Amino acid sequence: MENQTTILNLTEEEFVHPGNRACSGCGLSIVYRIGLKALGKNTILVVPPSCLTVLQGLYPVASTKLPCVNVTFASTGAAATGVRAAMRALKKENVNVVAWAGDGGTSDIGIQALSGACERGEDIIYICYDNEAYMNTGVQRSGTTPQGVITTTTPIKGKLQEKKDVPSIIAAHGIGYVATASAAYPLDFYDKVRKATTISGPRYIHVHTPCPPGWSFETRYTIKVGKLAVQTGLFDLYEIENGEFRLTGASKNLVGKARLPVTEYFKTQGRFKSLDKDIIKKVQEQVDAKWARY
């Protein structure tokens, strides 16, 4: 996919108010702000508990200018289904129904409802922002936490298991559009969300969102850290459109070129401080093997 959008022609209209409760330097804040620009006004959001619940505001003030229903943790995919069903019943067809959930709410507790919605072919966009742990509750491990990462529930040895590959699981449902993106590449994300709005059926976008407090790096490095995840080949930007896989943007530009070693990424964050040489070697080999297939 070629970038349609540049900084200069990206809309100035904002759908997120400043002065919200998101942490300083929040990767989610970047993608939420950019994603809502792509979705536009005619959108209804469905949000389970997550950092986004906090960003959205405390009653009676909302930080989002779009209609939003907060739903229970496990129910996001089904709740989005319900909004869409209501839109059909009310003949309001031109509304984007968008679920926006975290990695825990998607890969762990919410995967059943999401899988059900994908299998039924529900006409919804599901955006998972992946900060790789339960950040809102204070950095507990989730299904998408990478191996070796220190969290508050993997406090000494780091997580023993590997990261769950959620986009592949969703792609296995055979839905029309699956994409990954990164907060460090907001225009790539913007264009993917825009494209998603032009497709019907289930659409899934998995966006990597660096988290300064959860990952232990200084707030100013959110973009740098996000870019290193892509440039080391750990997190890839791609689309799977009607079953056809293609790398996009910065990942596409990496094909056939030397990638930075994964240690360049690991050393930027305190959460990797317990990584031993064996895991680093294994991860580098996995990344190399993956890229040998691209």
Partner 1 sequence: MTTRTFCNKISRSKPSPGDGGNTGSWRVLRPVINLEACIPAKRNKKACFHCWLYCPDSVVSKTIPPVINYEYCKGCGICAEECPADAISMVDESTHPVEEK
Partner 2 sequence: MHIIESGNVAAATGVKLARAQVIAAYPITPQTPLTEKLSEFVESGALKAEYIPVESEHSAMAVCIAASTAGTRAFTATSANGLLYMVEQLHWAVGARLPIVMCVANRGIGAPWTVWNDQQDTISQRDAGWIQIYANDHQQIIDAVIKAFRLAQTVSIPVMVCYDGYLLSHTYMPFDVPEQSKVDSFLPAFAPTHFLDPENPGNFNTVTLPDIRPGVDGEMAPGYIEIRHNLHQDLRATLDTFVEIDKAFEKEFGRGGNPLVEKYRCDDADFVAVCIGSLSYQLRDVIDIMRENDVKIGVMGVQMYRPFPDKAIVDALRGKKCAIVFEKALSYGNQGALYADIKAALYTSEKKPRIHNYILGLGGREIKTQQLLDALTASCTSPDTFEDTPRWIGLKL
Contact 262, 269 (CB under 8 A): no
Measured CA to CA, the distance from residue 82 to residue 85 in angstroms comes to 5
85 touching partner 2, by CB under 8 A: yes
Kindly state the smallest distance separating residue 135's Cβ from partner 2, in Å.
16
Burial letters for 143-178: b for 16+ Cβ neighbours within 10 Å, e otherwise? bbbbbbbbbeebeeebbeeebbebbebbbebebbbb
> Among 1, 33, 120, 250, which residue sits at the site for partner 2 (rule: CB under 8 A)?
120
Q: At its nearest, how many Å lie between partner 2 and the CB of residue 51? A: 12
Structure tokens at 2: 């070629």
For residue 59, the minimal CB distance to partner 1 (Å) is 5
* Spatial CA neighbour of 53 closest among 22, 98, 81, 30: 22
Nearest approach in angstroms of CB 132 to partner 2 is 23
Binding partner at 221 among partner 2, partner 1, none, C-beta below 5 to 8 Å by kind:
partner 1
Q: Which long-range contacts (CB under 8 A, 24 or more apart) does 198-201 make?
A: 200/123, 200/176, 201/121, 201/122, 201/123, 201/175, 201/176, 201/177
Contacts with partner 1 by CB under 8 A lie at 7-8, 10, 12, 14, 16-27, 29-30, 33, 56-65, 186-187, 212, 218-224
The interface mask with partner 2, positions 36-75, x = CB under 8 A, is: -----xxxx-x------xx-xxxxxxx-xxxxxxxxx-xx
Q: Which residues bind partner 2 (CB under 8 A)?
A: 41-44, 46, 53-54, 56-62, 64-72, 74-75, 77-83, 85-90, 95, 112-113, 115-116, 119-120
